[in-house]
Amino acid sequence: MIPLHYDSQFFDEPIDRYGTDCDKWDGIMAQEGHAVLPMWVADMDFRCPPEVTQALVKRATHPVYGYTEPSAQAADAMIAFLARRHHVMISREQQIMLPCVVTGIKAAVRALSKPGEGVLIQSPVYGPFEQSILTNQRKVVDVPLLRDTQGYYTMDYAGMEDAFRDGVKLMLLCNPHNPVGRLWRGEELTRLYTLLEQYGVTLISDEIHMDFVLNGGTFVSALSLDEREQAKIVVLTSASKTFNLAGLRQATLISRNRELRHAMLHDMRQAGVEAGNLFSFVATEAAFRYGDAWLDGLIAYLAEGERRLRNELAKRVPKAVMSPLEATYLAWIDLRAYGLRTDELMRRCYAQDVAFSPGVYFGKQTGEGFLRINFSCPHSQTMEAVMRLEKAIQANTTEK
């Protein structure tokens, strides 16, 4: 039953997700009132590793689903996976199980800053970074990434240093970066960390996209920057993005710093946040233990998907600038040359029955005129989406 090779045939197979209450297909259909090709929210239209399904089915046949402890086996499987694939060494007590990464971001903001204080982000960046700061009455200190004409982004060290000098003590980093596709290099992270140490700033590094390295290069975890216990570093990651398990709700916070862990645990206990559910632990363990072959096949498929997307865009939407993509399965597309604002782009795309993520979700100014395309789906679906985007851009405003 378990295939030996996860080749393009495996990932080419369309999976009908309608009727599963999934955000991506059912949610957007409910919102728009008609079927829409969904290239937006960051989950994949691929089957997860069959070993995960097998483990879930096996557990489901035990007919008692009572209160469950955070699983030591899932924790150990993650420890082994991080060592095997990313050369990051951690221990069980350095992990805290969470329902999801965004829970961890919010707990970190609440526990490690006070109302009114600034928290640094680098837009354009995953929308819930900003929302997590605002909803907890902190101040967003945005030091936007710098962009060159090819759409390649780098960090604004001088801008960050100004913010740290002004008293910012907490930073949210996205590595690899959603949506601009950067895989931050060791030198860039070391330069950042030198500044953080100099100004006593705590780093929250969201590494949920750690496994999607598409074009060579090596993922460097913030945990590798400083292995001392007192390092002010918190990492958030999970099996959910890598292995397409987001609906199961499980993630992990990792810090070698006991004080930081205790502060965040305290906040979560106050809010009554309990980690995961029994099926999420079963799936996490199976994915981290047995998912390597599936993951290697997936990465090869996504790398080819990126190449095809870039070529198709060049043909059909030639003024689009797609940022160089080092990691993630999310393409960041600058469409400003067409002179349309994001809301108009979105309206036209919905009229052509296709949904992308609006650039402004990642930065009101830095994402204006941009769309993000999630290409973690069969290549044929991506090609269809680009054709619809072409029509959307060519359509005159009164046309459906």
Ligand X SMILES: Cc1ncc(COP(=O)(O)O)c(C=O)c1O
Tell me which residues touch ligand X (CB under 6 A): 42, 100-102, 126, 174, 178, 206, 208, 238, 240, 246, 251
The two three-digit tokens of residue 96, written as one number = 């805290």
Contact (CB, 8 A) for 238 and 253: no
Q: Pick the closer one to ligand X by CB: 100 or 233.
A: 100
Q: Pick the closer one to ligand X by CB: 206 or 312.
A: 206
DSSP letter string, 293-359: HHHHHHHHHHHHHHHHHHHHHHHHSTT-EEPP-SBSSEEEEE-GGGT--HHHHHHHHHHTTEE-EEG
CA distance 346 to 135: 26
The two three-digit tokens of residue 386, written as one number = 């680009």
- Least separation in angstroms between CB 343 and ligand X: 22
Residue with smallest beta-carbon separation from ligand X: 100
- Which residues are within 8 A (CB) of 133 and not within 5 positions of it... i.e. 6 or more apart? 109, 119, 121, 139, 140, 172
Q: Pick the closer one to ligand X by CB: 42 or 235.
A: 42
- Which residues are within 8 A (CB) of 388 and not within 5 positions of it... i.e. 6 or more apart? 37, 349, 352, 353, 354
- Least separation in angstroms between CB 214 and ligand X: 15
- Least separation in angstroms between CB 266 and ligand X: 21
Q: Pick the closer one to ligand X by CB: 182 or 348.
A: 182
CA distance 246 to 241: 6
- Which residues are within 8 A (CB) of 219 and not within 5 positions of it... i.e. 6 or more apart? 86, 175, 176, 183, 207, 210, 211, 213, 327
- Least separation in angstroms between CB 338 and ligand X: 26
Half-sphere exposure of 233 (CA within 13 A, CB side): 24
Decide the pairing of beta strands 233-237 and 202-206: parallel
Q: Pick the closer one to ligand X by CB: 196 or 251.
A: 251
Q: Pick the closer one to ligand X by CB: 178 or 257.
A: 178
- Least separation in angstroms between CB 178 and ligand X: 4
Q: Pick the closer one to ligand X by CB: 94 or 132.
A: 132
Q: Pick the closer one to ligand X by CB: 6 or 212.
A: 212
- Least separation in angstroms between CB 238 and ligand X: 5
Decide the pairing of beta strands 170-174 and 139-142: unpaired
- Least separation in angstroms between CB 149 and ligand X: 26
Distances (CA, A) of 5 to 9, 50, 136: 9, 12, 47
Contact (CB, 8 A) for 116 and 104: no
- Least separation in angstroms between CB 100 and ligand X: 3
